[in-house]
Structure 1
Amino acid sequence: MTRFESSLRRGLMDANLAQYERVLQDADAAQPDFSPSYLRERMRLLADPWGWMRRRETVSPRRRRRLDWRVIAIAAALLLLSACAVAVVTGQFSQWFPRMGADPRDPEISEEVLSRTGTAIEQTQTVDGVTAALNAAVWDGSYLHMSLTVTAPDIPQEVAAETSLYTEECSFSLSEENWKEYVRKDEERGFAEMGGGSQELIERTIQNMLDMGQAGYWNHVGLLNFPLISREGDTLTFEAWIAFDAYLEQPEITLRLKNIATYVDGKGEIRWIGNERTGPGPDVPILRGPIDFTFTLGEPIRPIHYQGAVEVTAEDVPFRFTRFEISVFDMDLDFEVPAPVEYTRPEEYDELKQQNPDKLYDRDVSKAVFGVIQGLWTEDGGYVDLSQRGGGLGSTTAPEGVFGGSVGVSYPHPIDPATVTAVNLNGARVELDELERLAE
Structure 2
Amino acid sequence: MHSWPTTTLPELPDTPARREPVRMFDPSRQAVVALTEPGQQRASMYVCGITPYDATHLGHAATYVGFDVLNRTWRDMGLEVRYASNVTDVDDPLLERANATGVDWRELAAQQTALYARDMTALEVIAPDFYVAATESIPAVVEAVEYLLVHNLAYRVPVSETVPAPLTPGAADIYADIQAIASFGEISHLDAAAMTKLFATRGGDPDRPGKRDALDPLLWRAARAGEPHWPGSGLGDGRPGWHIECAVIARGTLGDAFDLQGGGRDLVFPHHEMSTAHTSALEGRARDLAPAGARHHTHMGLVAYRGEKMSKSLGNLVLVSRLLESGYEPAAIRVALFNHRLHQDWEWFDTDMQAAAQRVAWWRTALSGYGGADPLVFLDEARLALRDNLDTPRALAAMDAWATRTLELARDGDDGVAGAAGLVSRGLTALLGIML
The verdict on a shared fold, with TM-score over 0.5 as the criterion, is no
- TM-score category of the 2 structures, normalised to the smaller one: under 0.3
TM-score by length of 1: 0.27
